[in-house]
Amino acid sequence: MFATGFWPPLAAPLLNGMALLLALGFRRNRAVLVLIVLTVASLAVTGAVALEQAERGLDSVRMFTPWLLLAAAALPERGLLTRRNLLLLLLLVTAMWLTVSAPDHVWPGLRGALPLGLLPWSSAAVAAALTLLAAALCVLRWVLVGTPMEAGLGVVLTVCGLALMPMVRLDNVRAAYAVAGAGALFAVLYASYRMAFVDALSSLPNRRALDETLARLGGAFAIAMVDIDHFKQFNDTHGHDAGDRVLHAVAQQLRRTHGAQAFRYGGEEFCLLFTGARSRDAAKACEDARARVEAMQVRVRSTPVRNRQGANARRTDVSEVHVTVSIGLAVRDSAARAVSEVLKAADQALYRAKAKGRNKVVTR
């Protein structure tokens, strides 16, 4: 099932341990719990936890790990040292103690009772099913919330669940846990990148990503600053939830701008960056983007807002709303060569677009 010769003996605990340290650094607490369990399980199947033989380690992984992973996947994202998390860690320590210290005449009884001895299946099949259920919980959370870390945990736990199937040999289990550790390492890094450089609301690269991109910029380029017209008034009328839907919808239209990379600049402002030969067609691309936003309909439900006397205003029903954007565009030329100068010129062009009545594209 897995390429066993590719992975060194200690690859699984090392990779899972590295992912654990990264998850701790980025405060991904549910991932921390899952990776603590996987790191200990990886040590068990290498024989490092089960001092007598690795086979006992594999038995302990099938007996204890599925329950611990299922609990970790089901727990809400909270502080690491909450009572429930500490209880889970205590259960893990208990499982480690039993694995190392249980007498030989006691171990068969434990192995027959866990993970769910009442079922007419092998312990390996039950362990695989429980681990795959934990994976399904993570995938479901990803579908509902859209957090990339949950998708990564779903993949990692799926690999671990398949590794616990009855027909999988010990060497393949070790290789599978190494694959899971590599996947967890990638998932933590990718989720942390998304947190640092991608705006959660619009799914566009954020201001930090724009600054990084502009710092490496050279040659021909054009910058367009985009502002949603009368957005504060829209929020006051329809509520912030409706405003968030509008921001997301506008972002998706700007993402489609031909030849441009779109960024969330902050608040209701966005930035379009055109590089190289594409900067020559920036004015037309901006006009097309403006027209698409103007033609767009966004389905929102307005929420009550309070008037000056503190009473709730009349609630409106679900409706289709229209918004427009003003765009200021500046192209790098002899008058503005530095990135900061072009960005400032685009901002000034945006103010002129607003002064001319909004819903316009103005080029410096």
Give residue 49's pLDDT: 54
Q: Write the CA distances from 44 to 78, 162, 213, integer angstroms.
A: 28, 17, 45
Kindly report, residue by residue over 27-84, the tens digit of the pLDDT.
Answer: 889 899 999 999 999 988 886 654 455 567 888 899 999 999 999 999 888 888 899 9
Determine the pLDDT at residue 130. Answer: 95
169 plus 43 within the same structural domain? yes
- When pLDDT is cut at 50, 70 and 90, the band that residue 309 belongs to is very low
Regarding whether 123 and 43 lie in a shared domain, the answer is yes
Question: Residue 308's pLDDT is what?
Answer: 42
Are 295 and 156 in the same domain?
no
Percent of the chain with pLDDT over 70: 91
**CA distance to 271, 283, 345, per residue, from 222 (Å):** 10, 9, 10
Please report, for the domain that includes residue 256, its CATH number: 3.30.70.270
| Average pLDDT over every residue of 206-229 | 92
Judgement on whether residues 353 and 329 belong to the same structural domain of the protein: yes
Q: Is residue 200 part of a domain?
A: no
Query: Is 165 found in the same domain as 125?
Result: yes
The reply to whether 63 falls in a domain is yes
Q: Worst-scoring range by mean pLDDT, 16-30, 95-109, 263-277?
A: 95-109
Burial 254-283 (b: 16+ CB within 10 A, else e): bbebebbbbbbbeebbbbbbbbeebbeebb
**If you average pLDDT over every residue of the chain, what do you get?**
87
Domain range for 336 is 207-303+316-363
Task: Supply the pLDDT for residue 28.
Answer: 87
Domain count, the chain: 2
In this structure, what token pair is assigned to residue 93? 């320590």
In this prediction, residue 81 carries a pLDDT of: 86
